[in-house]
Structure 1
Amino acid sequence: MLERLELEAFLTLAEELHFGRTAARLHVTTSRISQTIRKLERRVGAQLFVRNSRSVTLTAVGARLRDDLLPAYEQIGLGLAQAIATGQGVRIKGVVRVGWSAPWCGNLVVRAAALLQARHPDCEVEFREIQLCDPFGGMRAGTIDLQMTEFPVDEPDITTGRLVFAEPRSLMVPAGHPFARRESVSLEDLADTVLVTLDDADVPRYWMDRHFPRRTPSGRPIPRGPAVKYWSEVLVLVASGVGVSTVVTRGEHFYARPGMVFVPFHDASTVDYGLMWPTASRNPLLRPFLDIIDELAPPV
């Protein structure tokens, strides 16, 4: 039988692929997570994760163990949540439409939705992907009740909640680019390459300046490449050698492809993801969903 910490540490690390974030979510030290995973690997008799200085990945044995354990673990959690909701006699009905722009935000939203529906069986959760080229359009059109996307947000009709993720930043470069051989890059280096950006027709200037700046910190202009609407287009253009683009460091686990290298910045601010919703919203499921995010989200 697995001990509780072994089970939670393994499944959380399999999701986060980062020892620090796993420790934060479980409220233990990073060394405790490392010791627990090593102990579990000795019991299994095989390596479950491959670790190096830049990444953590599941082995084939680890992936199989995750797939075998996760459904049962989630069912236990949902059963407990249902019992708590029944015991408290709380019933809320309705639909909440929740969006996200990055996979790690989506993972957290889906976990929160499962817990919300376990506690409130009469509610429904609908999911939406938020496109970076129109970060606030869904909320203003009334098709999104709550979203977890990139900060900053300074809009009079949108309320912001807590910061959920503060992610280190990297630069995606073509494999043949001179930067691909570096251990790290600087924001000043952006003046010496071509930056693939987003179409900013529906994006506030302050948001673009944070994520796709026009000048380096010293004031040097940054050459602009194509401006596209969708993140998938950015990935194709970078891998094809058209230019470079900024990304969160953990994006390598989700977006890596042949012809592309991820190089960390050593002087860039984090990419921050947080909660936001229309200020005028009266959806009764908004507060319960926010409370569950508070329960599940790691400390920042």
Structure 2
Amino acid sequence: MELREIEIFLALAEELHFGRTADRLHVTPARVSQAIKKQERVIGAELFKRTSRNVQLTPIGAQLRDGLAVGYQHIQEALAAASAAGRGINGELHIGYATAWCGNLIVAAADTFRARHPDCRIHIYESPLLEPLGPMRDGSRDLQLIELPIDEPDIVNGPVLFTEPRALIVPADHPFAERETVSLEDLAEAPLITITGQPQYFLDLHYPHRTPQGRPIPRGPSTTAWQEVLTMVGAGKGVSPTSARAAHYYSRPDIVYVPFSDAPPVEYGLLWPAAANTPRLRAFVRTVVETAALQVTAPTKSAGRRSLTGE
């Protein structure tokens, strides 16, 4: 099996869609189909089950994927390292992240990147809740992994790396705390604690003024710091939306994270200044994308009614 055929197989095993695989690899769907049929003839077994509605790996296909993935990653790392040596990827990158789970991904990607490009130094920082785009605009950050949407003319939107379900942070003694889920309509029943310093379109999405049925959402206090949000909720000043995964990182006895039943997920993606499109930045973006694809998302099933204090 040639390297390109391995690449096609692994991409289809991830996308499970011939069209998306073709777009991703800049080939035609027919090329993808031909490559898979050739592989199946050589192996003597089906690798994918195809119907008019979906594509699924067969057990043999899954076995092949697991066997090839690690070796393919090593090949890519070796090629990237050789290419970097030829291009001279060195210097420094200053990377920001918005949340603890974004930070975990950036740290893992930085470890891989340092192994590939030992002459390039990586510095990692937590992004401020207030004016998160400021560090990119003043030149102190080359790249950030933060919540979306961001739509600014001087900022490049890179790939969306993952999504997270939403939850509502409520006081531990609030009636919502006893529920299994809440809905967006429930936001009309409690003051909404918000943040400041973000673009208005970002605030309108994450902290809406009306429910889907048009009911007004009362406003509570506003702050510029994440820990202040938690403190205000715990003190009974209101409720606030967040990613459900926050319950795993920021548990407190005075608050509860209740999953939304109908809210869209939170998207997390890479951003960088439009003027900072350097080879080392592009190389790091590729590394983060690869790391995100390999990283298993932690479960969030315990992010529900309980405050995660062991009760």
Equivalent residue, structure 2, for 1:218: 213
Distance 1:94 1:243 in 2: 46
Normalising to structure 1: TM-score of the pair? 0.69
Distance 1:291 1:207 in 2: 26
Query: Contact 1:94–1:284 (CA<8 Å) still a contact in 2?
Result: no
Distance change in 2, residues 1:239/1:92 (3 Å): same
1:172-215 deviation line (CA, Å, top 9, x unaligned):
1001001001111010100110111102xx32111001111111
Shift of 1:82: 7.9
The structure showing larger relative contact order (alpha-carbon pairs under 8 Å, at least 6 residues apart) is 1
2:202 to 192, 195, 207: 207
Report the secondary structure of 2:153's partner residue.
coil
Equivalent residue, structure 2, for 1:119: 116
Equivalent residue, structure 2, for 1:85: 81
Shift of 1:130: 1.1
Normalising to structure 2: TM-score of the pair? 0.67
Distance 2:277 2:80 in 1: 25
Equivalent residue, structure 2, for 1:64: none
Query: Contact 1:96–1:283 (CA<8 Å) still a contact in 2?
Result: no
Structure showing greater radius of gyration is 2
Shift of 1:92: 1.4
Count of residue pairs brought into register by the alignment:
225
Distance change in 2, residues 1:113/1:243 (3 Å): same
1:160 aligns with 2:152: no
Equivalent residue, structure 2, for 1:150: 147
Report the secondary structure of 1:268's partner residue.
coil
Equivalent residue, structure 1, for 2:222: 227
Shift of 1:298: 3.0
Distance change in 2, residues 1:238/1:88 (3 Å): closer
Equivalent residue, structure 2, for 1:194: 191
Report the secondary structure of 2:279's partner residue.
coil
Query: Contact 1:238–1:245 (CA<8 Å) still a contact in 2?
Result: yes
Distance 2:232 2:293 in 1: 33
Shift of 1:86: 6.0
Distance 2:129 2:205 in 1: 13
Query: Contact 1:194–1:244 (CA<8 Å) still a contact in 2?
Result: yes
Within a 5 Å distance, the mapping from 1:1-300 to structure 2 comes to: 85=81, 89-90=85-86, 91-199=88-196, 202-298=197-293
Distance 2:96 2:293 in 1: 19
Shift of 1:116: 1.0
Distance 2:100 2:111 in 1: 17
Distance 1:256 1:148 in 2: 23
1:105-159 deviation line (CA, Å, top 9, x unaligned):
1101011111111111111111121122212111111111100001111111111
Distance 2:274 2:103 in 1: 22
